[in-house]
Amino acid sequence: MKFGGTSMAGIERIRHVAALVKREADRGNQVAVVVSAMAGETDRLVQMCREAAPLYDPREYDVVVASGEQVTSGLLAITLTGMGLNARSYMGWQLPIRASGHSSALIDHIEASILEGVFEKGGIAVIPGFQGVTPEGDLATLGRGGSDTSAVALAVAVEADRCDIYTDVEGVFTTDPRIVPRARKLEAITYEEMLELASVGAKVLQTRSVGLAMRYNMPLQVLSSFEDQPGTLIVGDEKIEELHMERQLVTGIAHDKNEARITLTGLPDKPGTVAAIFAPLAEANVNVDMIVQSGRAGETSDLTFTVPTAALAHSVAALEKAKAAIGFAAIVTDTNVVKISAVGIGMRSNAGIAAKMFETLAERGINILAISTSEIKVSVLVPEDYTELAVRVLHTAFGLDAKEAA
How far apart are CB 78 and a copy of itself at their closest, in Å?
A: 4
C-beta of 70 vs 360, nearer to a copy of itself: 70
Question: What is the radius of gyration, based on Cα positions, of the chain?
Answer: 24
Q: Which stretch binds a copy of itself (CB under 8 A): 131-139, 309-317, 320-328, 388-396?
A: 131-139
How far apart are CB 4 and a copy of itself at their closest, in Å?
A: 19
Residues numbered 134-163 forming contacts with a copy of itself, rule: CB under 8 A? 137-139
C-beta of 89 vs 190, nearer to a copy of itself: 89
Residues numbered 7-66 forming contacts with a copy of itself, rule: CB under 8 A? 11, 14-15, 45, 48-49, 51-57, 59-64, 66
C-beta of 88 vs 392, nearer to a copy of itself: 88
How far apart are CB 148 and a copy of itself at their closest, in Å?
A: 22
How far apart are CB 322 and a copy of itself at their closest, in Å?
A: 35
Residues numbered 190-219 forming contacts with a copy of itself, rule: CB under 8 A? none
C-beta of 38 vs 370, nearer to a copy of itself: 38
C-beta of 128 vs 231, nearer to a copy of itself: 128
Site string for a copy of itself, 344-373 (x = CB under 8 A): ------------------------------
C-beta of 71 vs 322, nearer to a copy of itself: 71
Residues 6+ apart with CB under 8 A from 234: 172, 188, 189, 190, 191, 194, 205, 210, 213, 219, 220, 221, 222
How far apart are CB 44 and a copy of itself at their closest, in Å?
A: 10
C-beta of 75 vs 281, nearer to a copy of itself: 75
How far apart are CB 102 and a copy of itself at their closest, in Å?
A: 12
C-beta of 30 vs 131, nearer to a copy of itself: 131
3-state secondary structure the chain: CEECCCCCCCHHHHHHHHHHHHHHHHCCCCCEEEECCCCCHHHHHHHHHHHHCCCCCHHHHHHHHCHHHHHHHHHHHHHHHHCCCCEEECCCCCCCEEECCCCCCCEEEECCHHHHHHHHCCCEEEEECCEEECCCCCEEECCCCHHHHHHHHHHHHCCCCCEEEEECCCCCECCCCCCCCCCCECCEEEHHHHHHHHHCCCCCCCHHHHHHHHHHCCCEEEEECCCCCCCEEEECHHHHHHCCCCCCCCCEEEEECCEEEEEEEEECCCCCHHHHHHHHHHHCCCCCCCEEEECCCCCCEEEEEEEEHHHHHHHHHHHHHCHHHHCCCEEEEECCEEEEEEECHHHHHCCHHHHHHHHHHHHCCCCCCEEEEECCEEEEEEEHHHHHHHHHHHHHHCCCCCCCCC
How far apart are CB 184 and a copy of itself at their closest, in Å?
A: 38
C-beta of 59 vs 182, nearer to a copy of itself: 59
How far apart are CB 130 and a copy of itself at their closest, in Å?
A: 14
How far apart are CB 145 and a copy of itself at their closest, in Å?
A: 21
Residues numbered 62-101 forming contacts with a copy of itself, rule: CB under 8 A? 62-64, 66-67, 70-71, 73-75, 77-79, 81-82, 88-89, 91, 93-94
Q: Is 131 in the site for a copy of itself (CB under 8 A)?
A: no
Nearest CA-CA partner of 369 in 355, 384, 391 = 384
C-beta of 81 vs 263, nearer to a copy of itself: 81
How far apart are CB 48 and a copy of itself at their closest, in Å?
A: 6
Residues 6+ apart with CB under 8 A from 97: 107, 109, 110, 111, 127, 131, 132, 133, 150, 153, 154
How far apart are CB 27 and a copy of itself at their closest, in Å?
A: 23
C-beta of 110 vs 390, nearer to a copy of itself: 110
Starting from the edge strand earliest in sequence, which strands make up the sheet with 291-294, in order?
291-294, 301-308, 259-267, 330-334
Q: How many residues bind a copy of itself (CB under 8 A)?
A: 39
- The residues of the shown chain that bind a copy of itself, judged by CB under 8 A, are 11, 14-15, 45, 48-49, 51-57, 59-64, 66-67, 70-71, 73-75, 77-79, 81-82, 88-89, 91, 93-94, 137-139
